[in-house]
Chains A and B, each alone.
Chain A
Amino acid sequence: MSLKIAVLIKQVPDTRNVGKDAMKEDGTINRAALPAIFNPEDLNALEMALHIKDIIPDSQVIVLTMGPARATEILKEALYRGADRGILISDKYFAGSDTLATSYALSLAVKKLGKIDLVFAGRQAIDGDTAQVGPQIAEKLNMPQITYAEKVVEISIQHIVIQRRIERGTETVKVSLPCLITVHSSAPLCRFKNAKRVLKFKKITTAEEHTSNNNSSIEVWNAAFLEANMDYLGLSGSPTKVKKIENVVFSKKENVSIAPTQPEVDLLFKELIDSHIL
């Protein structure tokens, strides 16, 4: 017996390390200055899937990403780390998708995989921090969802027990398969690339063919293949519209500089106490 596991991943600009050149003069983002990376919590999600494959070895781990051709980089990286199959969901019709349109396209892709037991995703992507796409896909697949997962407590062919990390502690929940799980950064880090797997998948290319279990290429699925309702894709399928974008400007304050010496620090604290701030 085995499980069929989908892992949804995303390539994101590294917003955690925004340097001074990341913003252009006009306040727009200089994407070229931001490296594109494997969304951090998606790596935690991949690890959780691979961990289950360790326990139930015949299981299959399929990674899917929606994005431009360049996003095959993270599919390959997932193959290096242990995934069995990579699928790129890519089409000009997906451009401008908000979380609802994105969840529609991704849910169609998961449905195309046939009977699926588990769907994993990172809790959120660092470019938007919305945490919305996971639960939206769960709703579209009519699956229960477990968000903020940090540990697999128990796994079998029929059910999974998950510990989730919330603000004031943890909850442990049990659910029958299939279900969708979003994974928190407190979950175990992803295993490293495997040298043999790197050699095996390094030269892999993308292909428009839609054969399953194809180890020699990364499949590319477009809107037509997904039999998508075009009204639900891209800008037209996105109920949220961006009205305005502004650069963040903080009003500068008049600033008093204090030397790091005892007399000056004493003076500062005297002032704070005298003015009842402290």
Chain B
Amino acid sequence: MDIKNNVFVYCEITEEGLVADIGLELLSKGRKLANELCVQLEAIVLGNNLKNIDKQLFPYGVDVINIAEDERLFPYMTLPHFEVITHLLKKKQPEILLLGASSVGRDLAPRIASHLRCGLTADCTALEIGTHTENKTGKVYQNLLYQIRPAFGGNIIATIINPETRPQMATVREGVMKREIYQADFKGIVEEIAVDQCLSDKDVLVKMVKREIEKHHINIKNASIIVAGGYGMGSKENFHQLFDFADLVGGEVGATRAAVDAGFTEPGRQIGQTGITVRPKLYFAFGISGAIQHLSGMEESSKIISVNIDPNAPINSIADYTIVGNVNDVLPLMMNALQN
């Protein structure tokens, strides 16, 4: 079995000791890339007390789980994870390494890329395998990872490649890739990483003093109905009416970056390129003009209803129904309609 040049996915561990959704989403994508490249899929899991992680991971088609268990590896701290992973990567020479574009992945990935002097693309919205011909030299590169991402505030989409350096590294935000079981009874192998060979005192320079992590995790990604508000809601008070409406329709409340920046609601509800990507069956857009960075995070919604004072708001072009009017006038009409 060739252990080199495989596709690797770094799997974050949640407070509950499970692999986070983003890791499972990346494994689903990684399995497809590995199949296309005819290589294996390997997971990297670092933490403490990782029981039954293999049962959670194997159905996603993971050939090799590289696991490290040590009290210095949970909660996540940059240097211990960085040291263990760079040790592993130097040994295994991956072709591709995917990480979540979370506060963990975005902290860890650039430090690894700098150390290995390899290319890294942040916040990819699509990953594909393709070829590239260098214009100047005529050199042809087969089986490159196309790292597709929005740039310039989401106004353009760029395809990035790393022709010469390995691994080809990319981060992806939660919800962008779909989580798909590959084979329920799939079995791979587990390889333990010798943590003590990787870590020394200099890797624990940073000490955790206090952690305040909320138990409740807003789950807009899996909501089938989303009630989203934009800057056009006008105020925090107006925005909060959306929670009442969401309760009535059985949905979750989402927001645009502008609404979050204005302090109308918490960042965990942000939908779009720098937030979460959603695909509900029904999407209410209240006072959302439709910046590209928002639209690309919700355009795959089955039905979109837009309420906006501006008939020319860009969101109307992708909406199924548009109501031109003040959100504060239309929202009570909708509440009435539901209560009847």
- State the A residues within 8 Å of B (CB): 13, 15-16, 18, 22-23, 27-29, 98-100, 103, 126-140, 144-148, 153, 161, 166-176, 179, 185, 238-248, 250-262, 265-266, 268-269, 272, 277-278
Contacts and interface: CB of A to CB of B under 8 A. Distances in A.
A253 B102 contact: no
A9 B285 CA distance: 36
Contact of A250 (B273, B299, B322): B299
A127 B153 contact: yes
B288 interface: no
B123 A129 contact: yes
A246 B156 contact: yes
A169 B119 contact: no
A161 B209 CA distance: 8
B155 A15 contact: yes
Given A148-B103, A174-B209, A243-B132, A248 B153 contact: no
B214 interface: yes
B4 interface: no
Nearest to A136: B114
B205 A144 contact: yes
Q: For chain B, which range describes its interface: under 10, 10 to 19, 20 to 34, or 35 or more residues? A: 35 or more
A129 B205 contact: no
B221 to A, nearest CB: 12
Contacts, number: 241
Contacts of A161: 209
B48 interface: no
Given A173-B206, A173-B207, A250 B123 contact: no
B72 interface: no
B113 A132 contact: yes
A251 B318 CA distance: 7
A137 B111 CA distance: 8
Contact of B103 (A23, A153, A167, A242): A167
Interface in B112-140: 113-115, 117-123, 132
A136 B111 contact: yes
A28 B152 CA distance: 10
A275 B161 CA distance: 45
Contacts of B338: 269
